[in-house]
Amino acid sequence: MPTSSHDDIHNPALLHHFATEEQQKDASNLGMWIFLATEVMFFGGLFCAYLIYRHWYFGDFGAASKSIDALLGGINTAVLICSSLTVVLAIWAAQTSRRAIMLVMLALTMLFGLTFLGIKGKEYKDKFEEHHVPGATFSFEKVPIPGHPDQYANPQHAQIFFALYFVMTGLHALHMVVGLGIFSWLFWAAWKGRFTPEYYTPLEIGGLYWHFVDIVWIYLFPLLYLIDRHP
Amino acid sequence: MHDHSKSSPLKTYFMVWGALLLGTFLTYEAALIDLGPFNPVVALAIATTKALLVALFFMHLKNASERLLKLVVASTIFFLMILLFLTMTDYISRPWTIAS
């Protein structure tokens, strides 16, 4: 029996097809990063569509972007950044055997996630009331183009902006909902004492997903909310 | 136990958190100033800095030991750039495609 792996045999978290805990952890991480690569391409197609239409209809996009509450978007950015901090703190707590802190941080992450979705809901509600949702009741009449007070935005082009806005933020919000599901499970597993300083891979993998969703939002915020805001 | 990040990483985490909040504030403020064509440049530069901070420190890419993992991340960005950059060169250089 190779002496180097002797200790590992007694670790119940180490699956038999891995040589060491380190290798098992690296394999999980690599798998997650490859999944995130597919996610980048998934969102990338939408960002590409956004770039093309923004290039064509810049003025209309600026007018439509200005109708969204940028302060709410900014607050949501801060909320997500705070949630990313609580995720790394939860992992740190697992690494250093601080069970109570780990549970509190996981709960806070979910609370921030729900806050984000709540603010998002308020934003969507405003857009519904203003008839800015693409479809039969869409209305965007006589809205001046930023920097050109004498010109009105083309409602058809503004509708394309709002279609992209709803699909991109909606897909992002869907990822948040999935993330909340993942973190509910992580919380439950942490409660059951599944994570130790030797084994906390699910926390790390779930954290990678959460941070990725945060990064998507970091780009969505300036691109959708702050196109042409200056007076 | 894995001692990639000896001592306590807490200080780094809180500093990155502060930098991300500052970046959000700067993005918002910069959007209110007329920088002409540089408004989107500044916005994207700040966003990319923030994304890098999250990836390097929160997603622990900085301390990643696996070179294969770094290759995956680099190729992800490379293929995203092919998608965005090559598409846009086409659209920007062909004015006749603008639908009026």
Quick one: A166 exposed, middle or buried, by C-beta within 10 A (0-12, 13-18, 19+)? middle
Kind of pairing, strands A144-145 and A148-152? antiparallel
Is residue B2 included in any domain, yes or no?
A: no
Q: Is the separation of the CB atoms in B5 and B38 below 8 Å?
A: no
B-facing residues of A in 28-67 (CB < 8 A) are 29-30, 33-34, 36-37, 40-41, 44-45, 47-48, 51-52, 55-56
**Inter-chain touch A218–B98, beta carbons under 8 Å:** no
Residues B55 and B14 in one domain: yes
Topology classification of domain A39-225: Four Helix Bundle (Hemerythrin (Met), subunit A) (1.20.120)
**Strand (E) positions, A13-122?**
none
Residues B74 and B97 in one domain: yes
Residues B83 and B58 in one domain: no
Residues B57 and B70 in one domain: no
High-pLDDT (> 70) share of chain A, %: 96
| pLDDT score for B5 | 47
Of A22, A82, A230, which has the smallest distance from its Cβ to B31's Cβ?
A: A230
Q: Which helix (H) or strand (E) holds A149?
A: strand A148-152
Residues B57 and B71 in one domain: no
What is residue A134's DSSP assignment? Answer: S
Q: Which structural domain range is residue B21 located in?
A: 7-63
Residues B56 and B94 in one domain: no
Residues B13 and B37 in one domain: yes
Residues B51 and B80 in one domain: no
What mean pLDDT comes out for the span A110-138? 96
**Inter-chain touch B13–A85, beta carbons under 8 Å:** yes
CA–CA gap between residue A106 and residue A210 (Å, rounded):
12
**Each residue's pLDDT tens digit, A100-118:** 999 999 999 999 999 999 9
What is residue A143's DSSP assignment? Answer: P
CA–CA gap between residue A49 and residue A53 (Å, rounded):
6
| pLDDT score for B99 | 55
Q: Higher confidence at residue A208 or residue A13?
A: A208
- Look up residue B44 and give its two tokens: 């994207």
Residues B14 and B59 in one domain: yes
**Overall number of domains in chain B:** 2
**Inter-chain touch B66–A29, beta carbons under 8 Å:** yes
Residues B42 and B25 in one domain: yes
**Each residue's pLDDT tens digit, B25-57:** 999 999 999 998 899 999 999 999 999 999 999
Complex ipTM value: 0.90
The residue in chain A having the minimum alpha-carbon distance to the alpha carbon of residue B99 is A56
Is residue B15 included in any domain, yes or no?
A: yes
**Strand (E) positions, A35-145?**
144-145
| Burial readout A66-104 (b: 16 or more C-beta within 10 A, e: otherwise) | bbbebeebbebbebbbbbbbbbbbbbbbbbeebeeebee
Is residue B1 included in any domain, yes or no?
A: no
The three-state secondary structure class of A152 is strand
**Inter-chain touch A226–B28, beta carbons under 8 Å:** yes
Which residues of chain A neighbour B32 with C-beta distances below 8 Å? Answer: 229-231
CA–CA gap between residue A86 and residue A102 (Å, rounded):
9
Residues B13 and B42 in one domain: yes
Q: List Cβ neighbours of A89 (8 Å cut-off, separation of 6 or more).
A: A101, A105, B10, B13
Of A34, A51, A89, which has the smallest distance from its Cβ to B84's Cβ?
A: A51
**Inter-chain touch B72–A228, beta carbons under 8 Å:** no
Instruction: Using alpha carbons, select from A104, A127, A113, A61 the residue that is nearest to residue A191.
Output: A104
- Please say whether the dihedral angle defined by the alpha carbons of residues A36, A38, A40 and A43, taken in this order, is positive or negative: negative
B6 pLDDT exceeds 80?
A: no
The one-letter code for the residue type at B76 is T
Q: How far is B37 from chain A (nearest CA, A)?
A: 11
A6 pLDDT exceeds 60?
A: no
CA–CA gap between residue A210 and residue A219 (Å, rounded):
15
Count Cβ atoms below 10 Å from residue A130 Cβ, excluding itself.
Answer: 13
HSE value, Cβ hemisphere, 13 Å, CA-based, for B95: 0
CA–CA gap between residue A176 and residue B24 (Å, rounded):
20
Residues B59 and B18 in one domain: yes
The one-letter code for the residue type at B5 is S
Helix axis angle for B67-81 and A21-56, nearest 10°, is 10
Q: List Cβ neighbours of A213 (8 Å cut-off, separation of 6 or more).
A: A80, A172, A175, A176, A179
